[in-house]
Amino acid sequence: MSVWDGAVAVPVTVVSRSKGEETGVTERVETSIEARLARSLEELASSREETAVSRAETATSREETAAARVRVADLEAALRSARTIGMAMGILMSSRRIPEQAAFDALVNASQHQNRKLREVAEDVVLAGRL
């Protein structure tokens, strides 16, 4: 790592006074240098603030993207479960000649009595063809 890493270039004016030079010229040069330095420092501060804001926005964007990915995965899993439950209900409706709500209630009752998730009971019905 170089000693100059992170160093900021700032314009510098070197002034020397010769004999008989007016003090006013030196003061104007010093004022000019101070103004130039102040502008450079303001630009640096502004640049650092913009960088900090940009980094914060990037971090927020990454967090939002990660949260969205999790949400998509959850929705995909819910969709798969809903399809499986629907197939199981169809099997029960067909085999038992019962209405849709009765088929759903049968799955829910089996889930509660077996202390298993509804999705798991539905998967078994789809695989076995019966409850």
* pLDDT for residue 115: 97
Q: 36-52 b/e with 16+ CB inside 10 Å = b?
A: eeeeeeeeeeeeeeeee
* pLDDT for residue 22: 60
Instruction: Compute the Cα dihedral for 50, 51, 52, 56 and give only its sign.
Output: positive
* pLDDT for residue 4: 61
Q: What is the DSSP letter of 22?
A: -
* pLDDT for residue 35: 83
Nearest Cα residue to 118 out of 94, 98, 92, 88: 88
Residue at 9 is within a domain = no
Residue at 3 is within a domain = no
Residue-number span of the structural domain to which 29 is assigned: 23-128
* Predicted TM-score (pTM) of this structure: 0.53
CA 46 centroid distance within chain: 25
Q: Which positions of the chain have pLDDT values less than 70?
A: 1-26
Residue at 16 is within a domain = no
Q: How far apart are CA 48 and CA 42, in angstroms?
A: 10
* pLDDT for residue 91: 96
* pLDDT for residue 16: 61
CATH code, domain carrying 70? 1.10.10.10
